[in-house]
Chains A and B, each alone.
Chain A
Amino acid sequence: MMVRFSIRKCIFSLLLLVGVVNCAFAQDFRFTTTVSSNTVAVDESFQIQFMLENGVNITGLTLPDLKDFDIVQGPFEQRGQSIMNGRRSEYYAVLFALRPKRAGSFTIPAAQARVNGNLVKSNPVLVEVKKGNSQTQQQMQQQMQQLQQQQQQGTGPYAPRTRGGDEAVDGILRKGENINEKLRKNIFVKVEVDKTNLYEGDQLTATYKLYTRLPTNSSVTKVPAFKGFSAKDIELPNPPQATEETVNGVPFKVFTIRKTLLFPLQSGTLELEPVEVDNQVRLVKIVQNKRNKGGRDPFEDFFNDPAFKDPFFDDIFNRADVEYEDVPYKTQCNPVKITVKPLPAEGRPASFNGAVGKFTMDAVVDKTKLSTDDALTLKVTISGQGNVNLLNAPKVEVPTGFEKYDPKVTDNIEKNSNPLSGSRTFEFVLMPTEAGDHVIPPVEFSYFDPVANTYKTVKSAPFTIAISQGKKVKSEKQDFSVGRNELTGIESGILPWVKKQTWFITSPIFYALLLLPVLAFAGMAFYKRRKDYNTTNAALLKHRYANKVALKRLELAARYLKEGKDKAFYEETSRAVWGYLSHKLKIPFADLSKQLIQEKLAARSINGSNTSELFELIDNCEVALYAPGQDNRRMQGTYEKAVSIISNLEDALKN
């Protein structure tokens, strides 16, 4: 029981508490309709304001029917907070500038709104319209100006904040507000791109904007480099001009920091780098009443610097409890990813050279008749929208007989055009070198149209150029000394017309001729060798068998001796001796002479008795041959002598 009771009590007290809080809000809630003037002239404008103060959860604001008035301006919606005498209040207001249609007295009925679920009504307003006069309009304008001034200064009856309103007021740092939170909410940089998915070379516009609701002195500290893009900046007004924009229902002052036309140079995912802005935000700080000083806000102590308590500030705001400070705040935008598609490969013309956009081409030659002393200019102008600043020279197929020089490129790009448009002119200078009619083939230019998603090719007409023979007086381009830059003339004359050089070195005749003398030499050498061998060999044999031959002959001689044939005996003996000497001393038979034999034997150091006996024997034989009638005994002696001489010589020659 006790427990349940206590729970009920708790719930009760909680409900009570909520009710009190509700009361606290309800206490301050007001819904009013006010007009700037209750009495107006026809053609005079006036302002009407429907204001909900401290309304929680406002829904369904129904404005009264304003059928008797023309709406000159509006509706303006205002939302804001104000602190009056240390009391914070929120408000929501709708403003109109109205002009009565006719004179009379009109009652503007109450406006209805649903606040926190309850239907509330504002007060009806009576407006009296008089016949107009010319001065009233001026008055009205003055009044309007006055009103605006009041609003801006924050000194008007409700201190309403016009949209994009005065930063000085927004720059008030209220009690309990987190300074960082406030800065984050009220100053930021944003990058806007018109497309995030595009073709290589297509144009992309990136705008960097600074959104602020606070008075700030900002400078850009980091500018994006646009990696992978060709960038062309659009010139921005200087000093920068603010525009107004509402973000999530909150009006912001917007400064454009940079606006750039970007042409992706490569495919893939590219990132736009963030821009970084340094801000010096001027904040006005409300210090609560002195009695509350040393309060809960940790910043309060920090900013309670004597510098901020300068009487100067007090003068401006005419309030003793306002502090003023510059807070540095660095902000940067989020990087943006751009998907760049490569240009389609199929259907790509051969003449395509990177142009993306929409172009036209115009190709003209400055003359169609000229001499070889003259020069021809082919001017190709490509104009249109797209990456004009990146256009490459179209390929000009120059026929032989022309010297082509690199084109001169002139740009004529419209300033601050978006999309980038303009023209680029290529001037090709062509020097004819040959007389005759020449046709320069059509100049072809291809580009990719990202809208139609196809390649397109434009072609000029071919140019026919008639070239006459000039006087060849054209100056040469590099060296002016005589003949330095002229070709030597052609050479004529009777030439030995031989088709293809024959190579003697590869022909068999060459090798045959090389081989022939070698073979001849080899043959001759072989023959001589053989001959030499044969002769030496025969002599050797004779030498070896000389003794035997001699002995055989002597045997024959001995038989003749027995038979008593003296002539044959001497003949045979003589032959045996001579033959022996011939063979042994290697002297041909015909060359034999006593003289030669003596020399030969002397050379072999055989002298003395042997030689003299030899010659004696030879003499005996010769005498006996030509003087026959010798006796048998003497023949016997001669025989024995011959045998002994030969055996002696054999011994001597062996050594």
Chain B
Amino acid sequence: MLQFRMIKSLFLAMGLFLIASAAHVSAQEVNPQQRFDDANNLYRQSKFTEAAASYQQLIDAGYSQRELFLNAGNAWYKAGKTGMAVYSYEKALQLSPADPAIKHNLALANQKVTGYTGELPLVFFQQWWLKLQHMHSSNGWAIGAVLFLWLLIAGIIVNFLIPGYRNKYLTGANYLLGVLFMLYLLMSVDTYMIANNHNNGIVLTDTIKVKSAPDDTSKDLFELHEGMKVKILDATKEYCKVELTDGKNGWIICAGIKSL
């Protein structure tokens, strides 16, 4: 009798444990949509700091959405953290570079950055290239490349291996497919490289001294302020060599910047 009860309670405990652990897991993995909506509500109640923290949690969890970054940028901006705002907008812009809302907000955030010099405008062909790049996502380009390769091979097979089908239209179509395949392959590689390029960073600390060499004792060259976008050229364990859009460069402590 006693034994039976013990077993029963043991099972009960195990069941409870399982439920609890399941609940734990589900608590951790709360629907991101729910958390996003909660954060949006906090934002609408003017609790910007909390909203920004919620958005940031989602971002840190690995979610990468244009809207998420845009909202996070807004929240950080309103909470007075220009550096994080600029960072979020830049991230959003990476995902959709032609978005007017993001561009507008980023420009507003940059107004608050001390010493912001503005970025160089792109030359027309750079703009075209940028537009072309964002015609498809990186995966889209890759899928396109695969598709065009299949079509190309099929065309070649028909043209060369099956007697009686060879004609000049098919040959022309094959050349076109070949060009398209090359383009798609190139663009997919290019977009992948750009998306995984961490050479740019945003200054997050209020004021950071730029030094002439990567050590504490070296001379201070100039100061960078929160929200400044810099290009990371080189890095040691502690210091990063950065360059501004106007060509000034120097070494700063890596902890002060967050790479995009």
Residues of chain A having any CB pair with chain B under 8 Å = 372, 398, 400-404, 433-436, 469, 478, 485, 487-506, 510, 513-514, 517-518, 520-521, 524-525, 528
Contacts and interface: CB of A to CB of B under 8 A. Distances in A.
Contacts of A520: 153, 157
Contact of B36 (A398, A488, A492, A505): A492
B43 interface: yes
A504 B139 contact: yes
A100 to B, nearest CB: 80
Contact of B46 (A404, A434, A485): A434
B126 to A, nearest CB: 23
B46 A469 contact: yes
Most B-side CB within 10 Å, residue of A497, A499, A514, A524 = A497
B229 interface: no
A478 B138 contact: no
Contacts of B188: 504-505
B74 A490 contact: yes
B34 to A, nearest CB: 10
Given A487-B105, A520-B153, A497 B63 contact: yes
B49 A434 contact: yes
Given A400-B81, A495-B33, A520-B153, A487 B143 contact: no
Contacts of B189: 505
Nearest to B189: A505
Contact of A528 (B61, B63, B70, B161): B161
Q: Which 7 A-B pairs have the closest CB atoms?
A: A517-B153, A504-B139, A488-B101, A490-B71, A504-B142, A497-B32, A499-B62
Given A434-B79, A495-B67, 5 more contacts: A436-B47, A490-B40, A503-B195, A505-B141, A521-B156
A433 B36 contact: no
B68 interface: yes
Interface in B126-142: 138-139, 141-142
Interface stretch (B144-152, B208-216, B247-255): B144-152
B156 A492 contact: no
B80 interface: yes
Most B-side CB within 10 Å, residue of A478, A491, A518 = A491
A483 to B, nearest CB: 8
Contacts of A435: 45-47
Contacts of A489: 74
B161 A403 contact: no
B146 A510 contact: yes
Contacts of A518: 149, 153
B79 A517 contact: no
Contacts of B67: 491-493, 495
B219 interface: no
Contact of B142 (A491, A497, A510): A510
Given A497-B33, A525-B161, A485 B142 contact: no
B37 interface: yes
Interface string B48-71: 110000000000011111011011
A506 B149 CA distance: 17
B153 A521 contact: yes
Contacts of A496: 65
Given A400-B80, A434-B48, A505-B188, A494 B33 contact: yes
Interface in B148-170: 149-150, 152-154, 156-157, 160-161
A575 to B, nearest CB: 32
B47 A503 contact: no
A490 B78 contact: no
B108 interface: yes
B49 to A, nearest CB: 5
Contacts of A504: 138-139, 142-143, 188
